[in-house]
Each structure stands twice: as C-alpha cells, then as structure tokens.
Amino acid sequence: SSLFIVSYVTSQLIIIFSAIRNFYRAYGEWGKFNELPRKERKIVFYSEDKSSWVYLGPVVEALALELDRPLCYLTSAVDDPILQRKDKNISAFYIGDGMICTWAFMSLEADLCVMTMPDLETYHLKRSKEANVHYVHIFHSIVSSHATYRKAAFDHFDSVLCVGPHHFTEIRATEKAYGLPEKRLFEHGYGRLDELMKGCADIGKKSELSEPLNVLVAPSWGDNAILEAIGESLVSELLTAGFQVTVRPHPMTIKRTPQVCDELGKKFSANSRFELERDIRGFNSLAEADVLISDWSGIALEYAFVWERPVLFIDLPQKINNPEYDKIGIEPLESSIREKLGPVVSPDDLKNIKAAVTDVANRQKGDFGQVVKKLRKETVFNIGQSGLAGAKIIAELADELS
C-alpha cells in the first residue's frame, strides 16, 4: 500500500508541476503575441484543441501562403503541431485553456478573430474589452446550426462562414425568431470535406469489399450516443459476427468521459479484429471502412459524401442541444438527409446487426454513388475550394476593417 501511495503522490505532483509549467509558458507566449507590431496581429485564429486544425487549417494556409497575409494562431493545446511549424506569415502562440486564455480573449487587440468554437460570450470566452474585434465563426461540422448547437451558439459572432445553404436558412430564421441583428453570412464550404476528398482521390477508392468486412464505428458524443449508450454490446455483436471493427470515439467523448474508451479498450483489445482509434485526424480507417456505423454525428455525412458509400445508422435519441430548436420551424439537415444516406436500425435489434451490415455493404453496387453526388452538391458550397474561398472572405473583411 505504501508503494501505491508513493506512486499516487508522484503522479499528482507531476500533474501539478505540468500545470504550473504550462501556465507560465502560456503567460510568456501571450506576452510575445502582444509584443508583435499591431499590423502583424490584425488577423487572429483561435484553436481550442489540436483537432481544430482540420477545420481552420485550409483557410489558414490559403490566407498565409496563397494570399500572402500575415496572421497569428492562438492555441489552447500545448501539443498543437502548429507550435513546431515554421510557416511564412504564420505566428503561433500557446495560451492554455484556463486563466491566461480567458484573459487573452478579454484583452485581445486585433481586427478579426476567427474560431471554430461556438458559444462566444456565453461561457468563459468573451468578446474583447480592449478593441472592437470582428468575430468570425467557421463550422466544424456539416450538421444544423439550430439543433445540434446550443441556443445562442452564434449570437455573438459578427460573421459566419456557412457550410451550405442550410446554414443560411437556419441562421436567418433564428435571427427573425428572436429579433437578433443580422450577421454577415458567407458561402464558404467545409475544409474537412475537401481534405478528405483530396486524400480519397490520391489513394483511390477501394474497388472490392474486404474479407472480413471492415466496420468503422464513429458516433457523436453524450449520454445518448452509441459508445456511451450501447458501445460495449454493439462492438461485441460486431466481433461475434466476424467483422473487423474499428471504434473512433468523438473527441468530446475522449475529453469528457475517457472511461468509456478505456473500458472498451480493456474489454476488446485482446481481440486481433478490434482497434480503438483516438485521433480523428487519421484518414486510413475512413478509407478502409466498408461500412460506417454512426448515430447523429456529422462524420456520417463526411463519410457518405467522400467515399460515396451508404451509412448504417443506429436509431438512438436525436442529439438536440437547443431545446427551443423547433421554434425555428426548420427540420435539421441531419434529420432530413438521414434516410437518404442509409438504413436506420433500432438499438434493440443488435442481434441482427450482421445482416444489416452486410446489406449496407452490398448497397454500394447500386446507384447510391449518383444519389450522394447530387446530395453533396446541394448541401456544401465550394467543394474542393473552400480553403481559398474562406481565405478570400477573411482577407476582404480585414481590408474593410482596416
């Protein structure tokens, strides 16, 4: 027991010293940011974690490298890869996720602040008290803005770069329903989709189904999501059916309920046909999957739109973060498009999951590809060009504000 106590105390001391070290690093880097000439910090991007790069990165790189605009990239992730990069026109700074980050937002002096994190002003991140900063939101999912996000998620942004027509319609309807001032809305697209489509084109699509079938479980997060609600039983049934199974948890599941992932790993890691993938930046699991199983996650749309394969949905309760979404009077995209992308299976019918997976895999031989191409074009702006489109929008806004 004494050895356990020593080990526990040591681990706690490591955590404490790491937190202290990160605090002083964030303090120092925030100071370095403020030492930059004002003209070099007109455009600021903020990243809440290293996963945010997949959404912000295409715009950042197009802005800095193609349009030759200097910008700053503030990140709350101490291990964010951008901190090690040396790119022309990109100055990256670590500001932590605690007191320094909150202070940085409240005292920010810039023309524009671009972020993929919603809920500005609602929680700990506030609009600047020191400067008239123009706040721009970039979406980190294709799904609806009024049901999947919280009620006031976008109310305090000045501009929103929309994925597709549905965001225009939803945001304008929300403004009308609550008497909010109109934000500036722009046709942007979705950088993550473009990156995935490029990767798919580079390696080519699978021409044949795997044997056994590769099944990727990639759900949303929360009490009613697949992993939290039925993860163990679903994975067990899939492995019993003989499939190769990869589980790709949502980043918020890893962050908020890591024990869910840990338990799956402990229970199934000895099975050679099971893999737990914790990094959403990975590409191979999506490319190799014969069937994606999801719930209400935006990854279902990404997978169908990129690989032009149907999705198997588990019919768990819809993820509604805005209890007043029905006041807007618009059916969320993830509801209206769902059954066009694949069949929906009851969570009480997992004993028949083998037949359902096999059926979905075989659907790829039909005309699904043509159907999904049409849906993709109708749903997303600037396919393949969203990075440059977004960069031009940011540059034009910066010029106006100057």
How confident is the model over 144-180, as pLDDT tens digits? Answer: 999 999 999 999 999 999 999 999 999 999 999 999 9
How confident is the model over 41-85, as pLDDT tens digits? Answer: 999 999 999 889 999 999 999 999 999 999 999 999 999 999 999
How confident is the model over 317-343, as pLDDT tens digits? Answer: 998 999 999 999 999 999 999 989 999
- What does each C-alpha distance from 265 to 221, 275, 283 come to in angstroms? 17, 8, 21
Range 253-264 average pLDDT: 91
**pTM for this predicted structure:** 0.88
Q: Does position 281 have pLDDT exceeding 70, yes or no?
A: no
Q: Could you tell me which residues come within 8 angstroms of residue 21 by beta carbon, excluding any fewer than 6 positions away? A: none
Percent over 70 (pLDDT), the chain: 98
Asked whether the CA dihedral 285, 291, 296, 299 is positive or negative, the reply is positive
Q: Which residue has the higher pLDDT, 202 or 32?
A: 32
pLDDT of res. 402: 81
How confident is the model over 93-132, as pLDDT tens digits? Answer: 999 999 999 999 999 999 999 999 999 999 999 999 999 9
Say how far apart CA 301 and CA 148 lie, in whole Å.
14
pLDDT of res. 326: 93
